[in-house]
Amino acid sequence: MISTNFNSPSLYPSTIPNQPPQSLSHNSSITSLFQTCKSMKHLKQIHAQMLRTQLINHNFALSQLLSFCCTHREGDMAYAHLVFDQISEPDLFIWNTMITGHSRRNSPKAAFSLYIEMLHKSIPPDRYTFPSILKSLNYEWALKFGREIHAQVLKFGHGSDTYVLNSLIHVYTLCGRTTRARQLFDRFPERDVVSWNSMISGYIKRKQFREAVDLFLEMERDNARPNSVTVVSALSACAKLKDLSIGKRIHNYIKLSDIKTNLIIENALIDMYASCGCMDIAHDLFDGMNNRDIISWTSMVVGYANLGLIDQARKLFDQMAERDSISWTAMIDGCIRSNRFKEALEIFREMQVSKIRPDEYTMVSVLTACSHLGALEVGEWIRVYIERENIRTDVFVGNALIDMYSKCGNIDRAMEIFREMKKRDKFTWTSMIMGLGVHGHAQEALNLFRKMQRAGVRPDEITFIGLLCACTHAGMIEKGKELFSLMEKRYQISPNVVHYGCMVDLLGKMGHLKEAQELIETMPMKPNSKIWGTLLGACRVHKDIEIAEKAGRELVDLDPQNNAAYVLLSNLYASCNRWEEVRKLRSMMSEKGIKKEPGCSLIEINGVVHEFFAGDNTHPQSKKIYLKLEEMVVKSKPAGYIPDTSEVLLDIGEEERQSALLRHSEKLAIAFGLIGSKPKATIRIVKNLRMCGDCHSLAKFISKIYEREVIVRDKTRFHHFRAGSCSCMDYW
């Protein structure tokens, strides 16, 4: 968010210092002549005059001509080479000028070639040669030749020159060797502010923000005087770390020092406070600015969006005279943080209408929104859009595509993306393992884990969560226990509360309720409400009221407002026809103001996401949907469908209970899918809660009767209904 030039004041001079002139007045006239030059056309006229007056034979005049070609924004390096190749004995200043020209144009090969040629002609480099060569290096060349040039610096006696050493710091940090850069920095015979800035900015470029802040504090202890570049860099690191304490300390230093506040510093302060969540201070600074640029506005938008205050962010966003991809992406991210996924996609469409080109970060955010909504058609369009617009496809975009396809129900396409990726990180492997697990492909997830190990990629705690979940969905108790043990024995990863939760889920779903309870009671950390809720859910499936009541009490003690304890116990009591207990629990919920989370299902038809709640009749096609529902039930009953009313939390007649079941959100979504999609097209649904037994049973019949694949992503896993059966094998 902060526009900084970390190397300003520049590590390199804009022009190479002149050699001592033969005639000051003569050379001054030549300098004045070139200072008036504004274009190559004008320069060529001067060159022609030099040829006529024999000035072309003077190195000083030639050096001025070459300086224009090499350092002026209107210069021409090809023309510079034509002139240079005609010089019989160029002096060191001319060589340095040519090297600088290539350096400014980021041409390491040309700069390096000139340097080698200069050495072959026995012209020793000076303190101005090396910074120009070092500045020209990109990551690849810095990695390949950085140490070699360092050796040359020492060979020619410039190992104690601060100006040259600052350039070496830049190169070592450029290629990721910050430890080597720091070793060099610590041995500096003398440091100037550029030395400190180079090291601090080097840390920031490598995302070593804590080291950057620590070095700034060390700079203070050494009584070195930070300048505007230093404080902007340090504030940037504090923003990334969300280190408000040090950020305020830097702000106070700016107030007490003679550093003149400018737009860049003001933006850095706003970004720091906004990143740390102090929007009141950020807004006061923002209101007090005499001038604001797009960075100022965007920092405020990002700050509000990161806190999930999307309405405040949108208000500022709408006031912006100019917006870039960063501000648009911030709004999309803010919507995702606020669980406003449909709005995130709407803002992306607005961005396209505004003709602002998105970057790879925007694409990751949009794909994340598609993942949450189960919007496969939109996600597919995004993938095509990325390819068509030649948007950079890095490992983060690849990971986002895997996540999107997995969560939208197309695990085969996710695997294709995985196989096509040339570069993978541990998140790539982990995302694919988790995707396979929630789709019920436990063996494939385990096979992929073995390949991950052979590839030398070290798994982390998230990887093992994915593996344990895969075992849970497949009921693989022994394999789950083996992996749980492997974490600590081989990889020194201590199981956390989530891993214990996975094991409780695995044991509980397989009916090992006592063992699951004992595991909870012997955990090295205090069990949280989710773990007791997991055990309670398993008790509901296996109708173990004794352990359920124990888990329910623990859950209520830990989280009195958690509706899960009441709802799960109510379901269990209802399934056992213990209606008095159901009424007591419902009464307690009413007294405490606790409401059951309403069931909600999403379905995408023709690129539009439709939302259904239980008992919903707000959809424009509600009449058709309910008629289709009745048809679904009528056709399913002769095939063997019997409504399962055991979990309906109402002590009413069977007919009314069946009617209540009919209004579940996933049934409404399936009916709409049958109406709105082409025959035999796959119906994909995302539900916020666990799929109930009756909806699960009916979906199996529908898949066979209507010859449709129905894919439902509920709170715990994917269900693929095909030809009358489910991929979960009725185990979820």
For 601-646, write each residue's pLDDT tens digit. Answer: 999 998 899 999 988 889 999 999 999 999 999 999 999 998 876 6
596, 629, 659 - which closes a domain:
596
pLDDT winner (highest mean) among 137-141, 171-175, 286-290: 286-290
The amino acid sitting at 16 is I
Give mean pLDDT, residues 122-130: 88
How many structural domains is the chain composed of? Answer: 2
Position 713 in a domain = yes
Position 566 in a domain = yes
523 and 568, same domain (yes or no): yes
- Which H or E element spans position 609? strand 608-613
605 and 695, same domain (yes or no): yes
What spatial distance separates the first Cα and last Cα of the chain, rounded to whole Å? 45
Statement: residue 1 has pLDDT above 50: no
- 554-589 burial code (b ≥16 CB/10 A, e <16): bbbebbeebebbbbbbbbbbbbeeeeebbeebbeeb
585 and 612, same domain (yes or no): no
Contact by Cβ (8 Å): 147, 154: no
- Position 7 scores a pLDDT of 34
How much is the mean pLDDT over the chain?
A: 87
- Position 696 scores a pLDDT of 93
- Position 17 scores a pLDDT of 39
553 and 582, same domain (yes or no): yes
Place of tokens 């617009």: 389
Statement: residue 652 has pLDDT above 70: no
596, 617, 642 - which closes a domain:
596
Place of tokens 């205090």: 526
Statement: residue 256 has pLDDT above 80: yes
Position 294 in a domain = no
String of DSSP letters for 243-280:
-HHHHHHHHHHHHHSSPPP-HHHHHHHHHHHHHTT-HH
Statement: residue 369 has pLDDT above 60: yes
Ranges 104-113, 396-405, 513-522, 569-578: which has the least confidence: 569-578
Burial class (CB in 10 A: 0-12, 13-18, 19+), 516: buried
Contact by Cβ (8 Å): 85, 77: no
Give mean pLDDT, residues 433-445: 93
568 and 643, same domain (yes or no): no
Strand order in the sheet with 608-613: 608-613, 600-605, 683-687, 710-713, 718-722, 725-726
Ranges 393-407, 471-485, 559-573: which has the least confidence: 559-573
On the question of a cis peptide bond just before residue 13, with omega within 30 degrees of 0, the verdict is: no
- Position 16 scores a pLDDT of 38
- Position 19 scores a pLDDT of 43
Q: Report the SS3 class of residue 602.
A: strand
- Position 148 scores a pLDDT of 81
Statement: residue 649 has pLDDT above 80: no
- Position 348 scores a pLDDT of 95
Domain hosting 511: range is 498-596
Position 476 in a domain = no
What share of the chain in percent tops pLDDT 70? 93
In this structure, what token pair is assigned to residue 631? 């048809």
Assign 217 a pLDDT band (cuts: 50, 70, 90): very high
Give mean pLDDT, residues 355-382: 94
Position 667 in a domain = yes
566, 596, 626 - which closes a domain:
596
For 725, phi then psi, to 5°, come to: -135, 165
Give mean pLDDT, residues 462-482: 94
551 and 514, same domain (yes or no): yes
354: closest CA among 383, 378, 331? 331
Output the CA angle 431-491-211, nearest 5 degrees. 80
Position 610 in a domain = yes
Ranges 57-61, 230-234, 381-385, 708-712: which has the least confidence: 57-61
Position 630 in a domain = yes
547 and 648, same domain (yes or no): no
What share of the chain in percent tops pLDDT 90? 54
679 and 621, same domain (yes or no): yes
- Position 659 scores a pLDDT of 58
- C-alpha separations of 649 from 12, 574, 584, 653 in Å: 76, 6, 12, 12
- Position 258 scores a pLDDT of 85
- Position 174 scores a pLDDT of 83
633 and 669, same domain (yes or no): yes
Position 467 in a domain = no
Q: How far apart are CA 52 and CA 59, in angstroms?
A: 16
- Output the domain CATH number for residue 580: 1.25.40.10
- C-alpha separations of 47 from 57, 69, 340, 730 in Å: 12, 12, 65, 87
- Position 303 scores a pLDDT of 92
Statement: residue 261 has pLDDT above 50: yes
Statement: residue 4 has pLDDT above 60: no
More confident call, 427 vs 643: 427
586 and 613, same domain (yes or no): no
557 and 631, same domain (yes or no): no
568 and 632, same domain (yes or no): no
- Position 593 scores a pLDDT of 78
pLDDT winner (highest mean) among 72-76, 77-81, 86-90, 397-401: 397-401
Ranges 14-23, 186-195, 267-276, 643-652: which has the least confidence: 14-23
Place of tokens 């699951």: 516
More confident call, 42 vs 574: 42
Q: What does the pLDDT look like over 493-541, one tens digit per residue?
A: 999 999 999 999 999 989 999 999 999 999 999 999 899 989 988 888 8
Assign 555 a pLDDT band (cuts: 50, 70, 90): confident
